Each structure stands twice: as structure tokens, then as C-alpha cells.
Amino acid sequence: MSLLSKKEEESGLSSYYNNKTTILQEARVFNDSPISPRKCRALLTRIVYLLYIGETFGTQESTTLFFGTTKLFQHKDSALRQMVYLAIKELATTAEDVIMVTSSIMKDMQPNSEVIYRPNAIRALCRIIDPSMVQGVERFFKAAIVDRTPSISSAALVSSYHLFPAAKDVVRRWVNEAQEAVSAKSSTSMFSAGSASSYLGFGSSSNQSSGYQPMPSTSYITQYHALGLLYLIRQQDRMAVTKMIQQLGGSKSGSGSVLKNPMALCMLIRYAGKVMEEDPNVQRQMVEILEGWLRHKSDMVNLEAARAICEMKNVSATQLTRPIAVLQLFLSSPKPTLKFAATRTLASLALTHPASVASCNVDLENLISDSNRSVATYAITTLLKTGNEASVDRLIKQITGFMSEISDEFKVIIVDAIRSLCLKFPTKHVSMLGFLSGVLRDEGGYDFKRAVVEAIFDMIKFIGDCKEQALSHLCEFIEDCEFTKLSVRILHLLGIEGPKAPQPTKYIRFIYNRVVLENATVRAAAVSSLAKFGISVEDPKLYKSITVLLNRCLDDVDDEVRDRAALYLKSLKEPVLATTYVKDDSVFSLSALEAKLVAYVKDPDASEKVFDASSVPKVSREQAAQEAARPSTLDTIGAPSVQKSATPPPPTAEETQSAYIEQLAEVPELSTYGSILNSTAKPVQLTESETEYQVTCVKHIFSEHVVFQFNVSNTLPDTILEQVSVIMQPSADSGLTEDFIIPVPSVSATTSPGIVYVSFTRDTPAEFPLASFQCILKFISKEVDPSTGEPEEEGYEDEYQLEDVELAAGGDFIVPNYANFSSEWDRLRGGATATETFALSAMESIKAACDSIVEILNMEPLGGTQNPTSTSIHTLQLSGLLIGGGGKILVRARMTFSRGQGVTLELGVRAEKPEACNLVLAAIGG
């Protein structure tokens, strides 16, 4: 009832007339004799209206109305019969015993019944039929699909589409009829002689209906419905879909296609795009067909074909020439929808191919003044991506003119375009910063203001020349900022960047004003920002001023503000506290912390020991922010809304670790091993991807054991592997002793993968064994009887050589961990240290050496040192954790490169335990 207009509600008449209780009482009209078609139609209309606006009927109410409605089958009035079917369709989902009306509906599905009844009967039958009965009505549906009357054929095709999930095998048998419906030719005459007396069967009697001649369709909508059903049936068979596209696509020029309906062609184009994404090998054939459709007489088809080519993976500039030319023609079209679609597609394409889109710049500039602001916004956004440095000032002037005329959603798109332009042309930062500071003072919602603030944040981060001016603009903004979240973020940034400025004192006034004038959340953020100035700036006068201001905050009415002030006053006096709580730039990896806490809670011995937070890896605040960062508005709004792929993102390393913990907990033989210290983040492939048997390995490290998990897949459908095991032969002096092997009883193509476990005991748990294992897959191979699907009794033993498995330092015993290198390096001065020099003669550059060291040790590169700035000398800084409470490890790798001799490496290691130093040196030296 919520959809009624205010005027209707005030009158009270409609609310009474369309009241559920009133309608249920008036349903007695269905029992009148004789039946009044006019009254019944009016009541059925009100029932359907209530259902459409969201009103719900109980099961008993729906059942009563449903069977009351079925009594109206006694009357032959055509319009009444249509309303009966409409009501049956809507009530069938909640009423009980609806299948009892099947016979009445089947009568109207007969080929000799009136044409006006058959489509409605088919649609209603689809809603009430039981999946087990579909085979019984198969004959009727097949006949209806190929019927000459478009309404009957479409009704049968759409109903088949809805029946497919419940009766896949039966509906798949209708593929020939669906193919015939796609290829059906329309008759040439508009009306036949026999249909003049009763148009569409109105007023005709049942004995006249057999002479009815169908009215042909000029829209060919049946082809659209038939194509949808064909694809649904064949979607699992990529070759069949490809063949269907090629058959229906016609010649390379786009002519000769049997499809006359533009929507059917658009659907076929989308199927072609999906096939190209799944199989790049057919891309060339599909592109030829798509380029033919660029010359179709329908604008809809032209646009869909152009967009499909523009969205292809690895599309070349040559392939884009024709679709861009078509889109360029649409830019000057008088139809706003075509202009909007073309500019939106070009805006998306400009993200990846700005040079190709640049040919449309003249037409796009003409659209900046378009009366449709949406078109103008996409035009200016595209120009910002494709324009050169000389046009930036002119474009920004044009943008400023209509910023007040567009909605916040499009303002965000423009600000994001400016944000990317700042990084592209940093020398133009003055005009762009002036534009951003100007729109920051305009009226707008939170999303718009946040987009502007984040654009200024990026300029501060990447363009050093504008840092001071940008901070001043932000200081002015927080003076009257109404959004608490933005004020807190700006104060946090001021606390980080302000102390590094040439004149840090000029920001203090703006920050302290927030302590005096704002709410508690902002006051607390301002206190933290003030403290960073006192700790980071070595100026006794400033230190004294900050102390005075923080002391005033001790009298604040809010607990959080007082507590922060007390903490920072204490930190100002004790440098150790300042380093830990203010200067430390690392935080716990939340996903890793969650995985460790889950394992701790599930451990039965957890109550006897304290949770070891030192074993949780840390990441930089920048990394943590990236993990939680919102997607760019350019990606979400500027790009097409149709997602090419609905595949979920891959699980993180911590999610994988949690899954392994749950999996191993179900293996009884491993129940006494305790908690897992580490598992391989990515399974190691031990066979080629195209072999008949595929095996991957995951290593699980426990405090006293190492468990190897082999995932065995059998790709042969006519063979079953039984008694599957993996024989592992460790290298000499590995420090490991084999405990047992848990084989897999049977592995078939349908049950793959099977999991084999091999357990080893660490002879000396305090040491970290590095070893190599030769692996052989052993099994009994049995053929499958194709008639019964059962394996034969006799089989033969076989074995399959696998790649060697390595137990290495990086990834198995060392995990990445972020740290402040300078402070941690100094802190570990008194711990275990080791230094050794290596000659890496095979390395062709310092960059190659950096990549190799990071990969071998699996440690976190710090401060961007993984990207060397010099080709001759460089220092790489790494940080990690040794599993099992082994503490932190820091590595300083000093490298020099000379042509002919390769890279000379001086490796310095500091750690909390000597074993860690030995492990790192052994990993590089091995």
C-alpha cells in the first residue's frame, strides 16, 4: 500500500476500495450464478494490483482466492479469461494445491483453442506445474515453440526459460524447436481473409477459432526469446555457443544474418564478448563478426558491437579504429541516449587507450556545453584523460563554469579525473590545486567533499612542490568543515606532514582551534596531531608550547581527550614511549591477527599460555590503508556497469591458512601435533598442467613435525586410481624422520582432488631443516566399465615421477613482517648478528638481484628499497618473523654491480636468535 499517492491516501476511497479485507469479502462474486464478467474482471484487477504494490496474502487467503478464481473458467469471456490467468500466475507462489487446476489450463493450450487463450495458458502452466510433470507436457511446449503466432511462440520460449532450472534434461531436448524459432521467417501478408471478422479472436466463438489466421510480427521478438533459451541450453558447451554465434552472425559484412530483431543481435554480441573473454583463440573470428555489425542499420546494434570491441582484453589500437569511428558519429547524434552511451563508452576506454580516443577530442569539446549535463560530464572527464598538458588550463576553466549545475555524483567523477590528471601533469599543479580548493568551498555532500580531500591528499603525497600550499587549503577547510570524518583525516595528515614543513608552527593555531571549537572526536584527533609536532620537531620553544597546550587538554570534559593528552605528555618526557606509540609506522595485519586468534581460541591448551602477539606479522599503515581502500570512482562510475566476470576475488593468505587449520583438524592422526605455525600460501605444482595426473603440494610446519599435503587430481574419466600414495625420499642429513603416510583409497575424475598426507618428525625442533625431497606418486590403475560405471576388479600397479619438493627458509620458516628499519636495526645491535659476502655472477642487474633475494627469503622490503634508484650501487632492507616465536629478523643487503662480474652482495643479518641468522645465510648460500 506504500505505493499509493498522497492524494489517494487522503481521499480514503482508494485505501478502502483496495483494502485486502474488503477484497477477500467481495471474492464471493466468483460464486455468483450467472457469472458477471465485468465485476469479476474488476475484482481480479484489484487483487493483482495489491500483489504488484507489495501486499502479501497468507497461504489460506491465497488458496481461497486461487480456487475462487478457477471457477471463472466456466465463462468464455476472453478478457475475463486473461485476467484469470494473470491472477493465477501471481497467486500460484503462495497458494496450496495449485496443481489441481492443470487440466483446465491444458484445455486452453490445445492448438484448436482460441489464440487469445493459449499464450496466457502457457505462462500460467509454467508457474503451477511440478518439475516431474514437465515431460508430460513436452509435446504441447514443442508445438507452441514453433507456432506461427508470435505471442504463442514467445510465451512458450519464456516459459521454457523459467522451467529450465527445475527440468534441465527435458528442456534441453527442445533445442531443435528453439533453433527453428530463431530461424523462422515472417509471413508477408499483414492480415488474412479469415481474420477480418474477429480480430485476435475477440467475440469469436469456439467453432470459428479453427479458421483463425495469425497476425505476423514485424518486431521478430520471438527470435530474442528463442536465442535466450538456446544460450541457456548450450552455455556449458563453449564450442556449441561459438558455432551458434558464427551461424547466426551472418557474413563478415554483417549481412545475411537470420536475426532481424535488434535486441536479439545485441544479445548475440554479448554472448560473443563472453566467448572471447573465456577463449582468446577465437578472438579474431569474433572481431570480424563484430566489425560487420558496426554497419548494421540499427543504432542499438552498432553501439553494442562497438562497446564489445572496446571492452576486449588486449585490444589493439588498430582494432579500435572502426568502433571509435562509429562512436564518434554518435557524438553528433540528435538523440541524447546515443550521445550519452557513446561518451560513457569512450570515457571507459580512455582509462586504457587515451591515445586512440584522442581522435574524438574535437567532438567531445563541442559536448561540454551540451544541455544534458550527464553527457557534458562524461565528455569533460574523457577530455581530461586524453588531453595534453597545453589544454589543461582551458579545460579547467570550462569545468568551473558548470560545476554548480551538476549533481554530486558527476562532481565526484570530475574530481577523480582531475586527481589522475594531477599525477599525469605535475607541472600544472597550481591551476589544479586552485580548482580543487575552489570546489572545496562550494556546497556539496560528504562523498563529493571526500573526493576533493583525497585528491588533495594525493597531490601532497606525490607532488612535493605543492605540499605547503595544499596543507594551507586543508587548514582553511577544517575551520568550517561539517563532516567529522574528514576533519579527523585532515588532522591526522597535518600531524604527519606538518612537522616536516619549513615552518611547522603556522599549523598549530588551526589544530588547537579544533580543540576549542569542535566535538569530542575531532578534539581527540587534534590532541594526537599536536603531540606529533612536539615529538617530531626538535625545537625547544615549540616543545614547550605543545606541552602547555596539552596540559590545558587535561581539563577536557571528554575521557578520550583527557586520556590522550595524558599519554602524549608522558611520551614527550620519555623518548622510548614516543618511539613505540607515536613514531612506530606499523600495525598488525588484521587478517593475520584474526587467523592467529582463531587458532589460539581453538587450541585446547590455550588457557595455559599467553597469546603470543610477537608472532603476528605487521604491515605498514600505508599497506593497511591500501587493503581497506575504496575503489576509485573512475572505476565504478566511469566504467560500464555490466561486469564481464562475476568470479570472486582469490582468498588471502590468512584465509587460506584458516581453511588449512580446519581441514587438518579433521585428520585424527594429526590431532596431537598442536597448532600450525605456518602453511604454504600457494600450492607448489609438481606436474605439468596438461598431464593426465596433476599433483600440487602444501607444506604445514608444526613445532615438532612437518606435514606434506599432496592434492592429487585424476583427469582421465575412464580410469580410477586406487591406493594412492606419495613416496618421499629426503636428502642426506635433512634432520627429518618419516612418521607415516595417509593414502587415498580412490581418486576418480569426479572425486578429484584426493589428499595424501606424509608426516615427518623434526629431529631437533629448535633447528629449521632445509631439505630437498624426491617424490614418486604410486597407485593402482583400474579401467572403468562404461556400461555400469564401476571399476574393473583387476588393475595394475603404476608410479609417476613428480618434481622435487623443497623445504626452504622463505615461505616455510620466515614470514614477511613490516618494521621501522632504522630503530629496529639499532635495537637488535646487541642480539644475534651475522655478515657474509656473496658473488652473484649470474645476476645481470641490481634489480634482478633484489627480486631474487626477496623471493628466496620471502621477507618484507622496507622503504621502497626493492626498487633500486642506481644501477651500480644499492642497499636493500628486509624485515621478517621467524615462525614458532623465533622473533624478528632484519636483513641489510648492500650490493654493487659491475658488467662482467655481476652483483657483489654483502649480507648483514640481525635477529633475536642465532638460528635465524644461520637460516638466512644458508638460504642465500644454498
Instruction: Tell whether 774 and 666 lie within a shared domain.
Output: yes
Q: How confident is the model at residue 209 (pLDDT cuts 50, 70, 90)?
A: very low
Structure confidence by residue, pLDDT tens digits, 344-371: 999 888 888 888 888 888 888 888 888 8
pLDDT of residue 708: 92
pLDDT of residue 68: 86
In this structure, the strands spanning 705-714 and 860-861 are unpaired
pLDDT at residue 6 is higher than 70: no
Q: How confident is the model at residue 185 (pLDDT cuts 50, 70, 90)?
A: low
Q: How many helices (H) and strands (E) does the chain have?
A: 40, 19
Classified as helix, coil or strand, 897 is strand
Question: Can you give the three-state secondary structure of 179-220, one letter per residue?
Answer: HHHHHCCCCCCCCCHHHCCCHHHCCCCCCCHHHCCCCCCCCC
pLDDT of residue 867: 85
Whether 135 is covered by a domain: the verdict is yes
pLDDT at residue 205 is higher than 60: no
Tell me what the mean pLDDT of segment 177-192 comes to: 62
Of the two residues 885 and 66, the one the predictor is more confident about is 66
Whether 55 is covered by a domain: the verdict is yes
pLDDT at residue 5 is higher than 60: no
Of the two residues 591 and 265, the one the predictor is more confident about is 265
Of the two residues 873 and 8, the one the predictor is more confident about is 873
Whether 19 is covered by a domain: the verdict is yes
pLDDT of residue 640: 37
Of the two residues 465 and 811, the one the predictor is more confident about is 465
CA end-to-end distance (rounded Å), the chain: 76
Q: 573-582, 813-822, 900-909: which has the minimum mean pLDDT?
A: 573-582
Q: Assign residue 161 the CATH number of its domain.
A: 1.25.10.10
Whether 73 and 104 have beta carbons less than 8 Å apart is answered as yes
Question: What's the chain's Rg over C-alpha atoms?
Answer: 36
pLDDT of residue 13: 43
Instruction: Tell whether 54 and 140 lie within a shared domain.
Output: yes
Among the candidates 807, 828, 855, a domain finishes at 807
Whether 571 is covered by a domain: the verdict is no
Q: 294-303, 430-439, 569-578, 785-794: which has the minimum mean pLDDT?
A: 785-794
Instruction: Tell whether 706 and 821 lie within a shared domain.
Output: no
pLDDT of residue 255: 61
pLDDT of residue 587: 72
Tell me what the mean pLDDT of segment 875-893 comes to: 86
Measuring CA to CA, how many Å separate 863 from each of 400, 459, 620? 39, 20, 10
pLDDT of residue 487: 92
Nearest to 421 by CA among 472, 374, 467, 455: 455
Q: Assign residue 847 the CATH number of its domain.
A: 3.30.310.10
Instruction: Tell whether 679 and 754 lie within a shared domain.
Output: yes
Instruction: Tell whether 254 and 158 lie within a shared domain.
Output: no
pLDDT of residue 486: 92
Q: What pTM value is reported for the model? A: 0.58
Instruction: Tell whether 674 and 749 lie within a shared domain.
Output: yes
Whether 735 and 690 have beta carbons less than 8 Å apart is answered as no
Classified as helix, coil or strand, 779 is strand
Structure confidence by residue, pLDDT tens digits, 248-268: 877 655 566 788 888 999 999
Whether 264 is covered by a domain: the verdict is yes
Domains of the chain: total: 5
Of the two residues 378 and 619, the one the predictor is more confident about is 378
pLDDT of residue 214: 52
pLDDT of residue 304: 92
pLDDT at residue 649 is higher than 70: no
Of the two residues 640 and 840, the one the predictor is more confident about is 840
Among the candidates 787, 807, 827, a domain finishes at 807
Classified as helix, coil or strand, 356 is helix
Per-residue buried b or exposed e for 877-889, using 16+ beta carbons within 10 Å of the residue's own CB: bbbbbbbbebbbb
Whether 134 is covered by a domain: the verdict is yes
Looking at every residue in the chain, the average pLDDT score rounds to 81
Q: How confident is the model at residue 194 (pLDDT cuts 50, 70, 90)?
A: very low
Q: How confident is the model at residue 202 (pLDDT cuts 50, 70, 90)?
A: very low
Instruction: Tell whether 786 and 803 lie within a shared domain.
Output: yes
Classified as helix, coil or strand, 769 is coil
Amino acid identity, position 350:
A
C-alpha cell at 447: 562523498
pLDDT of residue 3: 47
Tell me what the mean pLDDT of segment 846-874 comes to: 86
Whether 99 and 61 have beta carbons less than 8 Å apart is answered as no
pLDDT at residue 492 is higher than 50: yes
Q: How confident is the model at residue 562 (pLDDT cuts 50, 70, 90)?
A: very high
Q: What percent of the chain lies above the pLDDT cut of 70? A: 87
pLDDT of residue 559: 92
Instruction: Tell whether 791 and 843 lie within a shared domain.
Output: no
pLDDT of residue 329: 92
pLDDT of residue 398: 77
Tell me what the mean pLDDT of segment 228-242 comes to: 87
Instruction: Tell whether 693 and 732 lie within a shared domain.
Output: yes
pLDDT of residue 251: 62
Structure confidence by residue, pLDDT tens digits, 606-646: 667 777 776 677 776 666 665 554 444 334 333 333 344 44
Tell me what the mean pLDDT of segment 442-462 comes to: 88
Whether 859 is covered by a domain: the verdict is yes
pLDDT of residue 192: 36
pLDDT of residue 393: 77
Q: Assign residue 782 the CATH number of its domain.
A: 2.60.40.1480
Instruction: Tell whether 756 and 836 lie within a shared domain.
Output: no
Tell me what the mean pLDDT of segment 672-696 comes to: 83
Among the candidates 763, 790, 807, a domain finishes at 807
Whether 90 is covered by a domain: the verdict is yes
pLDDT at residue 498 is higher than 80: yes
Q: 161-170, 625-634, 896-905: which has the minimum mean pLDDT?
A: 625-634
Classified as helix, coil or strand, 739 is strand
Tell me what the mean pLDDT of segment 823-837 comes to: 85
Tell me what the mean pLDDT of segment 378-383 comes to: 84
Structure confidence by residue, pLDDT tens digits, 113-146: 665 777 888 888 888 888 888 888 888 888 888 8
Instruction: Tell whether 164 and 275 lie within a shared domain.
Output: no
- Residue 476: count other Cβ atoms within 10 Å of its Cβ: 14
Which phi and psi angles does 604 have, rounded to 5°?
A: -65, -25
Nearest to 567 by CA among 494, 580, 584: 580
Instruction: Tell whether 676 and 611 lie within a shared domain.
Output: no
Classified as helix, coil or strand, 116 is coil
Q: What is the DSSP letter of 31?
A: G
Q: Which domain holds residue 160?
A: 14-182
Q: 61-75, 392-406, 748-762: which has the minimum mean pLDDT?
A: 392-406
